[in-house]
Amino acid sequence: MSVHKHGDSGPGCAGSCCLKVTDLGVNFGSEEVLHNVSFHLHCGEIVALIGPNGAGKSSLFRTILGQIPHTGDIEFQRAGGDRTRPLIGYVPQSPSFDRGDPVSVLDFFSAAISKWPVFLPSPKKLRERVAGCLARVHGDTLIDKRMGALSGGELQRVLLALALEPLPHILVLDEPLSGVDIDGEKQLLDMLDEIRTKYDLSILLSTHDFATLDQYADKVLLLKSEILKVGTPAEVLSSPEFQAVFHLDLGKGGRR
Ligand SMILES: Nc1ncnc2c1ncn2[C@@H]1O[C@H](COP(=O)(O)OP(=O)(O)OP(=O)(O)O)[C@@H](O)[C@H]1O
């Protein structure tokens, strides 16, 4: 697929850089978790980050979010050369909710986007605002569902709607496909494609699901403390670096 898509409603950037990471390094105590990490994320692009457990994917996201001290540079560039920090929407690795939890999607959302106490009925305007946010992800019907009763795909949709309020410049999703069934996965991937096109935002996500990369990712970064390979899904998945990291014996032809 690998097409650079720009929508009508975003500022447009003529392909200029949105996020530029250069020579990034992160240590936790004496453990060097990331080193020499450099890559670019352009407007309207979906970049997938892959790597084994403990490769540093979540740490890289949290560093970009400004939560972890680092060496090297993280630069942002917005339309017109604006270098102020952009809004970053973040969908964390799926939190779990107690199946019996009485908190509804409306309660959860209201508490996150306003100071309205969860134990009071939401006023009409707040309900309308939440409904509008859920509509962005075609999740209008979820508003009165209990958080604990959502399927994996529905929960991801609610978290995605939350990350899109207010509309960010960059959307970061940590393993959005984990815990989502095949139908939910297809819906979520279609939605991400729709969102990046409609709102012209850049998407950076991590995944362990390699089979679907080709359907949505413009670029794939293979990470194991450092970036081992960058390219299209096909380039990365057929690379010796990928095979070595995931201990694949793919024979002479390099095919699975
Ligand atoms: N707050 C922290 N303090 C100390 N070490 C940490 C901290 N967060 C992560 N680490 C360590 O950093 C390394 C990278 O972890 P990270 O969660 O970034 O990997 P990951 O690629 O996201 O893994 P997974 O695919 O399993 O989610 C691991 O060795 C982990 O134990």
Ligand 1 center from residue 93 Cα (angstroms): 12
Indicate if ligand 1 lies below 6 Å from the C-beta of 205.
no
Q: How far apart are CA 120 and CA 107, in angstroms?
A: 9
pLDDT of residue 116: 66
Q: How far apart are CA 225 and CA 37, in angstroms?
A: 8
Ligand 1 test: best mutation among 53, 57, 59, most atoms within 8 Å of CB? Answer: 59
Ligand 1 test: best mutation among 31, 33, 173, 209, most atoms within 8 Å of CB? Answer: 33
β-bridge mates for residue 48, sequence order: 205, 220
pLDDT of residue 1: 38
What residue type is 104 in one-letter code? S
Ligand 1 center from residue 153 Cα (angstroms): 25
Tokens of 169: 């410049």
β-bridge mates for residue 49, sequence order: 206, 221
Closest ligand 1 atom to the C-alpha of 61? 18
Burial of 210 per CB tally in 10 Å (0-12, 13-18, 19+): middle
Ligand 1 center from residue 188 Cα (angstroms): 25
Indicate if ligand 1 lies below 6 Å from the C-beta of 123.
no
- Digit-by-digit pLDDT tens for the chain (256 residues) are 333 443 333 344 445 568 999 999 999 999 999 999 999 999 889 999 999 999 999 999 999 999 999 999 999 877 666 667 788 999 998 777 777 778 899 988 888 887 766 666 668 888 999 999 999 999 999 999 999 999 889 999 999 999 999 999 999 999 999 888 888 888 899 999 999 888 888 999 999 999 999 999 999 999 999 999 999 999 999 999 999 999 875 554 444 4
ipTM of the complex: 0.96
pLDDT of residue 126: 87
pLDDT of residue 94: 74
pTM: 0.86
Q: How far apart are CA 123 and CA 171, in angstroms?
A: 29
**Contact indicator for 226, 35 with CB cutoff of 8 Å:** yes
pLDDT of residue 247: 84
Structural domains of the chain sorted by starting position, each given as residue range(s) with its CATH number in brackets: 1-94+169-256 (3.40.50.300), 98-149 (no CATH)
- DSSP annotation string for 36-81: EEEEEEETT-EEEEE--TTSSHHHHHHHHTT-S--EEEEEE--GGG
Ligand 1 center from residue 55 Cα (angstroms): 7
Helical axes 152-163 vs 182-199, angle rounded to 10°: 20
DSSP 169: S
Closest ligand 1 atom to the C-alpha of 208? 25
